[in-house]
């Protein structure tokens, strides 16, 4: 059940002291040790088999909606920190087969291909090894012992391969507070915005333990219409830093948005980079989804006023990866 959780008023944040705000939020919201010293799943522990069975009962029509962007060269990446769009190359083609160059017997031919890409270049999950706080990783482990040149040897994305399936809930904050369904860049979504969206959408939008929450801002709608621009790394609507307590105390299993970086950009401090990540991933143990395409789902939910659904969102289990592509499927 959704609870009205108190949080800091964004106006009360000391814009000049992100270190203190992050440290205070980390103390309030920490899940370190909650599931034992060896835990590698974080808030995914909130989803159990019974929860998945209840989520399956939400399927009424069998309608399926992919929440993924396409993985191609026309994607959102601009090269920042060496993140590029996928490069798709054919190894064998139909022309090779027609020319008889493939060396197979009795006329059989085929096509084969390869993709080269950063694992977080399009619709994806941030895993628990993606962000650290002062050298500490999820569950108070030394970051250097978790992620080495061999990858994430403790909380690699493969540990979530069969876990991210359950009750999905869409909170269409863009439709509730935006203009024509779109929030402006720099709009900080607070706990109050989340609670008011839930209230407006009704009982099927309640949020509680084990839920997989999808937050639509409408920014992706805009850039798909007008061009990518600075979508990757630039200004964006997103979660306020002050929602850290909501993320912790609702006991959700994971959360995803239609933006590049999940939280509001510019961030709410004078000199900060993704401070909400610094609390949510290493301290809360929360999986963050980014660049999810929620528009078709939002239209479907608005049509029948039903905002919960079965969501399957398994990452590609690349051993040792700190993030991975995903093709989330909402089934209604």
Residue 34, both tokens: 């909650």
pLDDT computed for residue 199 by the predictor: 98
Residue 95, both tokens: 């022309």
pLDDT computed for residue 4 by the predictor: 57
Tens-digit pLDDT profile for residues 247-261: 999 999 999 999 999
- Mean pLDDT over residues 77-106, rounded? 94
pLDDT computed for residue 80 by the predictor: 85
Q: How far is CA 306 from CA 53, 168, 178, 205, in A?
A: 19, 11, 20, 8
- Mean pLDDT over residues 118-141, rounded? 98
Q: How far is CA 287 from CA 86, 157, 197, 281, in A?
A: 23, 10, 22, 7
Residue 278, both tokens: 């610094």
Q: Is residue 54 over pLDDT 90?
A: yes
pLDDT above 70: percentage of residues in the chain: 98
pLDDT band at 216 (very low <50, low <70, confident <90, very high): very high
Q: Is residue 5 over pLDDT 80?
A: no
CB atoms under 10 Å from CB of 18, counted, come to 20
pLDDT above 90: percentage of residues in the chain: 95
Work out the widest C-alpha separation in the chain, in whole angstroms: 75
For the chain, domain boundaries: 10-78+118-331, 88-116
pLDDT computed for residue 6 by the predictor: 62
The beta strands (E) that lie in the chain are given as: 64-66, 87-92, 112-116, 124-126, 136-137, 141-142, 147-148, 151-152, 165-172, 188-189, 212-216, 238-239, 254-257, 287-290, 308-312, 323-325, 329-331
pLDDT computed for residue 8 by the predictor: 76
The gap from C-alpha 141 to its chain's centroid, in whole angstroms, comes to 23
First to last CA, the chain: 20
- Peptide bond between residue 203 and the one before it cis (omega within 30 degrees of 0): no
The gap from C-alpha 267 to its chain's centroid, in whole angstroms, comes to 18
- Mean pLDDT over residues 316-329, rounded? 98
Which stretches within the chain are classed as H helix? 18-29, 49-56, 94-98, 143-146, 173-177, 191-201, 219-226, 244-249, 275-279, 295-304
Q: How many helices (H) and strands (E) does the chain have?
A: 10, 17
CATH architecture of the domain 10-78+118-331 equals: 3-Layer(bba) Sandwich (3.50)
Residue 226, both tokens: 């007008």
- Mean pLDDT over residues 144-168, rounded? 98
Among all chains, which residue has been given the structure tokens 């610094």? 278
Query: Is residue 125 within 8 Å of 323, Cβ to Cβ?
Result: yes
Residues 6+ apart with CB under 8 A from 210: 46, 47, 48, 51, 166, 167, 251, 252, 253
Query: Average pLDDT, whole number, for the chain?
Result: 96
Q: Is residue 131 over pLDDT 80?
A: yes
Q: Is residue 1 over pLDDT 50?
A: no
Residue in 310, 192, 185, 318 with CA at minimum distance from that of residue 260: 185
- Mean pLDDT over residues 165-178, rounded? 98
- Mean pLDDT over residues 112-141, rounded? 98
Instruction: Give the SS3 label for residue 52.
Output: helix
Q: Is residue 273 over pLDDT 50?
A: yes
**Distance in angstroms (rounded) separating the CA atoms of residues 145 and 149:** 10
Q: Is residue 68 over pLDDT 80?
A: yes
What is the 8-class DSSP label of residue 213?
E
Residue in 297, 278, 294 with CA at minimum distance from that of residue 286: 278
């Amino acid at each position: 059940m959704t609870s009205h959780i108190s949080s800091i008023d964004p106006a009360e944040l000391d814009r000049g002291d992100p270190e203190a705000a992050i440290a205070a939020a980390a103390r309030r919201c920490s899940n370190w040790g909650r599931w034992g010293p060896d835990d590698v799943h974080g808030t995914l522990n909130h989803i159990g088999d019974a929860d998945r069975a209840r989520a399956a009962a939400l399927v009424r029509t069998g309608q399926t909606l992919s929440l993924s962007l396409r993985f191609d060269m026309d994607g959102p990446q601009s090269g920042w920190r060496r993140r590029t769009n996928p490069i798709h190359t054919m190894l064998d083609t139909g022309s090779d087969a027609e020319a008889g160059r493939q060396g197979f017997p009795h006329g059989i031919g085929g096509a084969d291909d390869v993709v080269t890409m950063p694992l977080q270049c399009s619709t994806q999950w941030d895993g628990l090894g993606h962000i650290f706080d002062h050298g500490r990783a999820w569950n108070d482990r030394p970051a250097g012992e978790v992620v080495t040149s061999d990858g994430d040897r403790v909380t690699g994305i493969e540990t979530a391969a069969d876990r991210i399936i359950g009750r999905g809930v869409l909170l269409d904050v863009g439709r509730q507070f935006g203009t024509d369904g779109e929030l402006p860049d720099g709009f900080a979504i607070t706990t109050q915005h989340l609670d008011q969206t839930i209230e407006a959408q009704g009982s099927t939008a309640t949020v509680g333990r084990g839920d997989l929450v999808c937050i639509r801002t409408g920014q992706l709608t805009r850039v798909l219409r007008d061009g990518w621009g600075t979508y990757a790394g630039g200004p964006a609507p997103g979660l306020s830093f002050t929602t850290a307590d909501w993320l912790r105390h609702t006991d959700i299993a994971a959360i995803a948005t239609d933006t590049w970086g999940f939280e509001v950009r510019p961030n709410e401090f004078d000199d900060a980079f993704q401070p909400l990540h610094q609390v949510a991933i290493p301290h809360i143990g929360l999986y963050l989804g980014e660049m999810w395409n929620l528009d078709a789902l939002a239209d479907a939910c608005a049509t029948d006023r039903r905002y919960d659904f079965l969501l399957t969102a398994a990452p590609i289990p690349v051993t040792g990866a700190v993030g991975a592509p995903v093709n989330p499927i909402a089934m209604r």
